[in-house]
Amino acid sequence: MENGNKVAIITGGGSGLGQSTALRLAEEKVNIVVVDISEKGGNETVEMVKKLGVEAVFIKADVSKQEEVKNYVDKTVEQFGKIDYFFNNAGISGSGSYFLESSIEEIEQIVGINLLGALYGVRYVAEVMLKNGGGSIVNTASSAGVIGQDSVVTYSATKHGIVGLTKSMVAEYGKDGLRVNAIAPGPTETPMVKSFYEANPAMKENATKGIPQRRLGKPEEVAELVTFLLTSKAEYINGEVIRIDGGFTNTK
């Protein structure tokens, strides 16, 4: 199915930031591999992307399982022969409970998806990229990855881990043609954030008041940043964690 286009893998591509970025990259004539645990969401994104005139495939995966991560990487190479871009984006927020009220099962689930899933993804994708002379990765951190925030202790710990992953991969492999950056979105109008705020309504009001622009971010705004960082327009940006939060963490 090779057609000369660049190829991007997007995890968590069935909704939210992943879906918006898939559509934005498709406008740049990038072929898309949508990875998600939701078949419904993943296939929906594929259909939307195909309407923009590029190739797209869906691969179901639980990113907390190493073998399923290796499988989506292997299948991408099988289908397209390469990986140029990787939006390492799959994640969950958790229940919003204070840390000492969180179950061990919830802690393990958040760490498994947000941190181990991201580590496994970079491990297998970077291996392919370096064989082909390099590539570009954007990891999804969070405002909770650059400051401390209450009610999301485990989530925040994993997102701080994403920042360390980003910077340290560049220290090791920047010389070999690998670019790795991270985004740190503040509260954004994604399904994950909406469901979190529905369960914790007071937190939405507090968050919006704490954002100087007095609104949540839009997935399309984040997609624009991710597309810029992934593509050749940002070739000398490496190891950065770029906040996109309406000034939210700037006031902390």
Share of the chain above pLDDT 90, in %: 86
Per-residue pLDDT tens for 158-182?
999 999 999 999 999 999 999 999 9
Mean pLDDT value of segment 128-141: 98
Question: Phi and psi at residue 47, in whole multiples of 5°?
Answer: -65, -40
Q: Assign a CATH topology to domain 7-243.
A: Rossmann fold (3.40.50)
Q: What is d(CA 54, CA 44) in angstroms, rounded to the nearest whole number? A: 15
The pLDDT of residue 2 is above 70: no
Question: Phi and psi at residue 144, in whole multiples of 5°?
Answer: -75, 0
User: pLDDT-derived band of residue 193, with 50, 70 and 90 as boundaries?
Assistant: confident
For the whole model, what pTM was predicted? 0.95
Handedness of CA 251, 111, 172, 125 (dihedral sign): negative
Per-residue pLDDT tens for 61-102?
999 999 999 999 999 999 999 999 999 999 999 999 999 999
How many other C-beta atoms lie within 10 A of the C-beta of residue 78?
9
Q: What is d(CA 87, CA 103) in angstroms, rounded to the nearest whole number? A: 29
Kindly list the domain boundaries of the chain, sorted by start residue.
Answer: 7-243
Per-residue pLDDT tens for 26-58?
999 999 999 999 999 999 999 999 999 999 999
User: Strand 56-60 relative to strand 85-88: parallel, antiparallel, unpaired?
Assistant: unpaired
- Selecting among 72, 85, 124, 155, the annotated active-site residue is 155
Active site residue 124: no
